[in-house]
Amino acid sequence: MADKIEHINASDTLNEGRKKINEALGGFQTQIDTIVVEGDSSVEAAQARVNADGHTYDTLKARLDDSDEEKASKEDVDVIAGEVEELKTRKSIVVSDTEPEDADIWFEVIE
C-alpha cells in the first residue's frame, strides 16, 4: 500500500494535494472494510448488510448511509407534498410588490 501513495509536493496545487490525500485515505478505507467484513463479523452483522429488497452492501455502514439518504429524500417529498396540499386549500395567491389586504398567500416580488 505504501508504494501506491503519492507524496504531496510543495509545487502541487491545493486540488492536486487534496486528490492525493483522498486516494491514500480511500485505500485505507478499503482495507478497513475488508478487515470488518472478513474479520470476526457475526452472522447477525452479515445479515444486516442486506436490505429489505435483497440488495447486499459491501459494509453495514454503506447500507446505513444509503438508508439515511433515502429516508431524508422521502421526508423532503412528504414536506413538499404537505405544503402543496396546504396551497390547494387557499382561495387566493398573490404575487406583487406590496402586501394585499385580502390574499391568503402573498409572494413579494424582490428586485
Q: Are 56 and 50 in contact (CB under 8 A)?
A: yes
Task: Dump pLDDT digits (tens) for 79-102.
Answer: 888 887 777 776 666 677 777 777
pTM metric for this prediction: 0.36
In a domain, 5, yes or no: no
Total domain count for the chain? 1
In a domain, 69, yes or no: yes
In a domain, 70, yes or no: yes
In a domain, 51, yes or no: no
Domain of residue 72, residue span: 60-111
Q: Cell 390547494 appears where?
A: 88
Task: Dump pLDDT digits (tens) for 57-73.
Answer: 888 888 888 888 888 78
Strand partners, 93: 105
- Name which of 73, 70, 48, 43 is nearest 61 in CA terms: 48
CA atoms within 13 A on the CB side of 28: 8
In a domain, 83, yes or no: yes
> What is the Cα–Cα distance from 97 to 111, expressed in whole angstroms?
9
